[in-house]
Structure 1
Amino acid sequence: MPAVAGRTFTLSTDTATVCVFDPAGVRHKLADDCDWWSIPGAELAAVNAGQVAFFNLGSDGAYEIELLAELLAPHASVHLAVVSGRVFIGAGEDVTGGGLEPDTAYGGLFVELPVGNYRVQARRAGDRIALAFLPDACGTNAFSELLRI
C-alpha cells in the first residue's frame, strides 16, 4: 500500500469540489480555460479518462482531509492514472488550467505515489473527508454522472 496514509491536512474550496490528480496527466489542459472542468461533460470526460478524480461536495468551505490505507465503506471510488508519481489533492479551483498548475496556497497537498493505476476511495462525514489510494490494474472509469460525496 502507498505510504501516504496517516496524513491529515485542511483545504479550502470556493468551488465545492475536491480534486485528486497527477499534474503530468492533465498538463494538456494548461492552455485551456481555468474553469474547463466546470462544464459537466468536460469534467466527466477527465474523470472517465482517469486523469482527475473530482469529488463534488455541495458546499464551499474548509474541509479536513485524512489519508488512510483503505476505506471499508467508501461513498465513492474512482480509478486514477498516476503517470509521474506526484499527485495533488486540493480544491477544484486548483486543477491545471488557465496557464496555472496546482500549488498549496489554499491548503492542498502533494503526495508521492509509485507510478501506476490507483483506486481512489472517498468517504465524507460533514467537513471531514477520508481518502485512500489502492493500487489497481484499471486506470479509467465509465461513470455516466458526476461524483458527489
Structure 2
Amino acid sequence: MTSIVTGTATVCVFDPALLRHRLDDDCDWWSLPSAELAAVNAGQVAFFNVGGDGAYDIALHAELAEPQVVVHLAVTSGRVFIGAGEDVTGGGLEPDTAYGGLFVDVPAGNYRLQARRDGAHISLAFVPDARGSNAFGDLVRI
C-alpha cells in the first residue's frame, strides 16, 4: 500500500507512453471536462474524481469482488503510473515519484481497471481484458 496526496481531488492511472502526445499541452489540459472525457474514453488514462483534496491510500489487488467503477485502460509500455491528477503528463513534464505516486509494471495489453473507494482508501485491480476503450458520458467518480 502507498499514499498519494492530491490538490485537485483527482487520482489518475495511465501508461505514460500513451499520453506522451500531451507533453507540450498545458499542464492542466485534463481540467477541461471534454478533454478529460475524451482521453478516458480512448482508454489512455483513468481519472477518478475523489471529491476532495488530501491524502489517499492506494492498495493493489488481483481483482475486486464489487468494484464501484470499471475503466478500460490500454497499456503499451508495460509501465503504469498511479498518482495525483496534477502529476499527469503535460506542461513539459512527465510523471515521476518525487512528489508521490508510484509506478506499477504490468504486461502490455488492455485492462479492466477496477476501482473501489472507502473513505481515504482506494483499491485498484488490473484485470486483463480485450477491450481498450470506454463510452462514459460523464466524468468518472469514486
| Partner of residue 27 from structure 1, selected from 14, 20, 25 | 20
Gaps spanning 5+ residues in structure 1: where? Answer: 1-7
TM-score, length-normalised on structure 2? 0.99
Deviations 1:1-38 (A, max 9, x none): xxxxxxx1000000000000000000000000000000
Aligned twin of 1:148: 141
Gaps spanning 5+ residues in structure 2: where? Answer: none
Q: What is the identity, as a one-letter code, of the residue corresponding to 1:39?
A: L
| Partner of residue 129 from structure 1, selected from 122, 130, 133 | 122
Q: How does 1:48-59 map to 2 (within 5 A)?
A: 48-59=41-52
| Partner of residue 96 from structure 1, selected from 89, 102, 118 | 89
Q: How does 1:1-149 map to 2 (within 5 A)?
A: 8-149=1-142
When the two structures are aligned, how many residues end up with a matched partner?
A: 142
Give the alignment's Cα RMSD to 1 decimal: 0.5
Give the share of equivalent positions with the same residue, in percent.
74
After the TM superposition, list the runs of 4 or more consecutive aligned residues in structure 1 that deviate by more than 4 angstroms. none
Aligned twin of 1:3: none
Q: What is the identity, as a one-letter code, of the residue corresponding to 1:54?
A: F
